[in-house]
Every structure is written in C-alpha cells, then in structure tokens.
Amino acid sequence: MSMSIGTKDLVRAEINLTPMIDVMLVLIIIFMVITPLTPLGLDALLPQTSAAPGPPARASQDLVITALADGSYLLNREPLAQAALHSRLTKLFRNGAAGVVFVRGARDIEFQRVAEAVDLARGIGVTRIGLMPY
C-alpha cells in the first residue's frame, strides 16, 4: 500500500504487464509449433551407375620432388642431382606430362633446400606448386 500525500486528483501512470505477457506467450507457442515443421537436411540426387564402363583410369601425372639432406633430390622416387633434376623437369614440362609439382623436404634439412626446389620448378614455368609434409 502506498500513502498519497496531497491532492487526490493525481493520476499515476503504471505499465500493465498482463497484455505484454500474453503476447509473449502467444509468440512462444507459435515458434514452438513452427520449428518442427522446418525440413532437416538437403535433397540430393544420388549418382546412378552406367551400363557402359568409363575410360580406364590413367596414372597420376603429378610430380613429387623430395629434397634430401645430402644435397640430392628425388623425382618420384628417382634419385637425381640438382642439374639433372632441372633438365628432367624441363623435358617433362615440354611434353606436357605434369599438372602439379609437389615439393617436400626430408626431416633434417633446412627450408632453403625446399625453397631451391620450388624456385627450380618456377623457373621452368610451373605455376601449380604444392608443399607436402615428409
């Protein structure tokens, strides 16, 4: 109870919370009804098998250059010196045999050796070079 001092004509403004609570409850009920109706997942068409066999799978034409600690390189497991690697890569890229060159280094070498292999490939004209962990 509050005590009023002064005139009795004083109008006090109070917020009536009951309509606001009713509106909020109606909104909650609407959202609870709508939420389970939303579809889950995506519609996808699965590929069908064809009766005719496709073309035979061709061998990968990507090259892997591995820089070793002794100063030599491996080109797809073929040991080469740096000069031989340059001539071999030039010959392969003239024939259009490689799409991507991957470069990786042995565990105990400096990154400079890997950077030299990347520079060697860039000098030949390779634009797609990737680095691989050993």
Return the domain boundaries, the chain.
Answer: 63-131
pLDDT (tens digit, 9 = 90+) per residue, 14-46?
888 888 999 999 999 999 888 776 666 666 676
pTM across the whole model: 0.52
**H or E, element range at 116:** helix 111-124
Question: What are the DSSP calls for 25-64, one per residue?
Answer: HHHHHHHHHHGGGS--S---PPPPPPSS--PPPPPP--EE
Asked if 117 and 64 count as a contact pair (C-beta separation under 8 A), the reply is: no
Asked if 73 and 65 count as a contact pair (C-beta separation under 8 A), the reply is: yes
Residue 36 burial (C-beta neighbours within 10 Å; 0-12, 13-18, 19+): exposed
pLDDT (tens digit, 9 = 90+) per residue, 77-111?
889 888 888 888 888 887 765 568 899 988 888 88
Q: Residue with structure tokens 């070498």?
A: 109
CATH of region 63-131: 3.30.420.270
